[in-house]
Chain A
Amino acid sequence: MLTNVWLVLLFPLLGFLWCLVFGRLWPRLSGWVASLAIGAAFAASVSVLVGLLALVPGDRVRVGTLYTWIGSGAVTVPLGILVDPLSTVMILIVTGVSFVIHVYALGYMAGDPGYGRFFAYLNLFVLAMVLLVLAGNFLVLMVGWAGVGLCSYLLIAFWFERPEAAAAGVKAFVVNAIGDAGLILAAALILTTFKTLDYVTVFQEAPRLLTPGGGTVTAITLLLLVAAVAKSAQLPLYVWLPDAMAGPTPVSALIHAATMVTAGVYLIARAAPLFTLAPLTMGIIAWIGAITALFAATIGLVKPNIKRVLAYSTVSQIGYMFLAVGIGGFAAGIFHLMTHAFFKALLFLAAGAVIHALGGEEDMRRMGGLRAHLPAAYWTFLAAALAIAGFPGFAGFFSKDEIITLAFTARTGSAALGVIALVTAGLTAVYMFRVFFLTFHGKPRLDPQAVEHLHRPGAVMVVPLIVLGVLSVVGGYVQFPGEGFGDFLLPAFTFFGVQPVVVYGLNGGIAAASSLVALAGIGIAWLVWQKYPTTPEALGRALAPVHAALLNDYGVDALYGLVVVGAVRGLGVLCARVVDGLVLNGIVDGVGTAVRGLSAGVAHLESGYVRTYAVAILAGVIVILAFLVRGGL
């Protein structure tokens, strides 16, 4: 059963190749082929899970090799994979959610001229993501990492004729390049320290070869953190994610909510044996996560574009995951990763249904009262919103709760972190229900044209919504009753001697507090945006500077544009004007001018005047005579 894991890689590859060849010829068929490929991959993942469960918990770490990729002297890198509970969970999430979104996209992207291309890219993405997750060494990880980065770029800039889409794609790629640099440097350090890039060897040797808290391990983990921060859009490298919403909504759902952006969290969890040896880095991770969560949540309160709010929401929720793994709760982080995949994908898909129905409208100021028109979207969105807000009983409640509990109770946590997490939970409820009320309730502010052409989503789009809606509700229960999920994941860490920080059962006090905060948040949202709709305006005027700051992301983008882009552009101008224009051109032109000057000078010798020639002859005679006289005749 375990050998089916290769099928998880093979099916998306086949789907990609099919769409590459036949995508333009038979677009609709290719869409189905692509979706089926992912469905088959999901089935294979399930069989892998079954196979894994058949093994004894302590034995559930297996390595497989396709062939030896690089064999040069002392360093051999195989194309190897690692199958353990962590990677199995990840491939289940990736292929499962991808499958659902593929089906949704069959309807959403219908009529788009790039239909076949879209599914080719989607399948390629799944392939790269699965490769990233299944990798058995750091080099294969980098292949997958780069692959998802590429697909992210291709898909963000899918409608490349739109300048903002092309720009967003480039921005994503460039910011992720910073992360890639960190990853490469980290791999280089690992290679020099361990003489190998293989996970199993590195993780088993880590306690022996690295001094805990020492310089080397801190450097390695900090570099890995850079990569994670870039890919997972945390402070300070989050700027690409809001702009990435220029891509089609299925892309936003799959890549920028459920899967790719979680790769950073996965990386930290996978390299836990290294991270646990660097408490400094772990602390930084926790604080980055907390502050990012709070930061992004505040911005979500004011943005008018529905997808942007969801993007900032993603940034905020991944902050929670970072907070969890930073404290050492690796299992908790992955748990929240899973539930977040469900409800965030659902939120995006439901929003996509709204956008699709309104013919492309994304501004919430021109929505409202859509409950009547789009019931399927309404109910599923509500389910997801309740989940993310942490409403008791829904999936998000359990996962977020676990993180908040860890923050307050774990030895590596702190009250400050816990408070931030709690406050952010409240803000999450507020902004999410802000979206809910603005979009589906209230007096319609719709464009009359849009209302006329409003078309409801077809079954192809509705069924995925329902599936995800169900998961958003029940998904949390894998953890709650016994400690199923966390226990399942544990062997992946204990195999290498890492003991994740775990919380057992529900902490009553914190559960109550978070439920209260969630309800309060929903209530505030109802009051401000539903009951007294003029309040936002008034508040905005009263707190104008705050409002402006939030609307402008606290000026972070502008700061980057000024400092980073400005510096690079300045360097470019310098090179173009000074280095190229003055120096290089000067040298080249100078050579020409020198030659011309020299030849002009020499031309005097050939003036045609007899007397000049005579002078030259005389000068030569004098020189020769001088030699003769000096040398003694």
Chain B
Amino acid sequence: MGLIIFGILAVVAVAGAMGMVFARNAVYSALCLVVTFLCIALLYLSLSADFLAVVQVIVYAGAIMVLFLFVITLLNPSRAETPDRLRGQGWVAGILALVLLAEIGAAVASGLLRALPSPTPPAVSWSINNAQVVGAALYSQFLFPFEVVSLLLLVAIIGATVLAKRRL
């Protein structure tokens, strides 16, 4: 049962990704990516990461992609792409990507599985109150990074504002 769901979600996610890469219209690309994000959110759910699934939808699909769509429409989305001036770039990209895939596959197939204590996942108790558990970890063990990240967000906001001005 779980495998079937996983399979469907996987296929859709990959389809969305491919759609994003090959769509001519930038808006279609963005929308395909949204589909992929949603699939990933569902996959998080299957991995007992409830909090993260919701956050994924809200932040990624809801905020980031909206931002992308704003900029796409701002920069005239209907312009067609000019032919690539870097000859052979497509082939190089494809070959390198496949090589990388093969390498990762080799890594997965060879050693990783052995490092795992057991193929079956342990029963986890935090699937019910996932948000609580994540929050507890954040505010205890990962407090310092948490505060730094908030600072980083501030910097990003200021930076974006400055950069987008027409005249400083």
A–B: direct contact at CB < 8 Å: yes
Chain B proximity of A605: nearest CB distance (Å)? 13
Q: How far is the CB of B130 from chain A (nearest CB, A)?
A: 30
Residues of B within 8 A of A632 (CB): 110-111
Least Cβ distance of B61 to chain A in Å?
Answer: 26
Return chain B residues, CB-CB under 8 Å to A66: none
Contact assessment for B86 and A622 in the assembled complex, using a CB-CB cutoff below 8 Å = no
A618 sits at the interface (CB 8 A): yes
CB atoms of A618 and B106 under 8 A apart? no
A625 and B104 alpha carbons, distance in the complex (Å): 8
| In the complex, per-residue mask of B98-120: 1 if CB is within 8 Å of any chain A CB, else 0 | 01100110110011100100000
Q: Is B92 an interface residue (CB 8 A)?
A: yes
B96 touches A618 (CB 8 A): yes
Q: Which residue of A lies closest to B103 (CB)?
A: A625
Q: Is B89 an interface residue (CB 8 A)?
A: yes
Segment among A26-34, A183-191, A437-445, A608-616 that sits at the interface with chain B:
A608-616
Chain B's closest residue to A621 (CB) is B100
A633-B96 in contact given A609-B86, A612-B86, A622-B103 (Cβ < 8 Å): no
A629: Cβ under 8 A from any B Cβ: yes
Contact (Cβ within 8 A) B86 A611:
yes
Q: Which residues of B contact A621 (CB under 8 A)?
A: 100
Q: Which residues of B contact A625 (CB under 8 A)?
A: 100, 103-104, 107
Once A615-B92, A619-B96 are accepted as A-B contacts, the answer to whether A626 and B86 lie under 8 Å apart by CB is no
Most B Cβ at <10 Å: residue of A611, A628, A629, A632: A629
B93 within 8 A of partner (CB)? yes
Q: Name B's interface SS.
A: helix
Q: How far is A543 from B37 in the complex, measured between Cα atoms in Å? A: 117
**Chain B: which residue is nearest A607 at the CB level?**
B86
Q: What distance in Å separates the Cβ of A614 from its nearest Cβ neighbour in chain B?
A: 9
Considering the complex, give the chain B residue whose CB is closest to the CB of A612. B86
Q: Which residue of B has the minimal Cβ distance to A630?
A: B106
**A633 CA to B116 CA, complexed, in Å:** 13
Chain B residues whose C-beta falls within 8 Å of the C-beta of A628 in the assembled complex: 107
B112 with A633: CB separation less than 8 A: yes
Interface residue total, chain B, C-beta cutoff 8 A:
15
Known: A611-B86, A615-B93. A629 touches B99 (CB 8 A): no
Contact A615 B96 (CB under 8 A): yes
- Check A611–B89 contact: CB distance below 8 A: yes
A621–B93 alpha-carbon span in the complex (Å)? 14
In the complex, are the beta carbons of B100 and A622 less than 8 A apart?
Answer: yes
Task: Indicate which residue in A611, A615, A618, A633 contacts B107 across the interface (CB closer than 8 Å).
Answer: A633
Measured CA separation A615–B86 after assembly (Å): 12
Which chain A residues border B99 with CB–CB below 8 Å? 622
Q: Known contacts A609-B86, A611-B89; is A633 also within 8 Å of B111 by CB?
A: yes
Residues of B within 8 A of A619 (CB): 96
Question: Cβ of A633: which chain B residues have Cβ within 8 Å of it?
Answer: 107, 111-112, 115
What residues of chain A lie closer than 8 Å to B96, measured between beta carbons? 615, 618-619, 622
Closest to B99 in A: A622
Within the complex, the shortest CB–CB distance from B65 to chain A, in Å, comes to: 23
0/1 interface trace, chain A 589-633, chain B, CB 8 Å (1 if under): 000000000000000000001011001001101100110110011
Task: Let me know if B112 and A629 touch, CB within 8 A.
Answer: no
Task: Give Cα A609–Cα B115 distance, bound, in whole angstroms.
Answer: 41
Q: How far is the CB of A606 from chain B (nearest CB, A)?
A: 14
Contact residues in A for B92 (Cβ distance below 8 Å):
615
CA distance A625 to B96 in the complex (A): 13
In the complex, A629→B110 CA distance in Å? Answer: 8
- A189 CB to closest chain B CB (Å) equals 73
Contact across chains for B89 and A626 when beta carbons are under 8 A apart: no
Contact residues of B between 72 and 98, Cβ < 8 Å to A: 86, 89, 92-93, 96
Complex A-B, nearest 6 residue pairs according to Cβ-Cβ distance, in ascending order = A629-B107, A625-B103, A633-B111, A618-B96, A629-B106, A622-B99
Using A619-B96, A633-B111 as known contacts, list a sample of 4 further A-B pairs with CB atoms less than 8 Å apart, ordered by residue number in A.
A612-B86, A626-B103, A629-B107, A632-B111
Complex A-B: 9 CB contacts under 8 Å: A611-B89, A615-B89, A615-B92, A621-B100, A622-B99, A622-B103, A625-B104, A629-B103, A633-B112
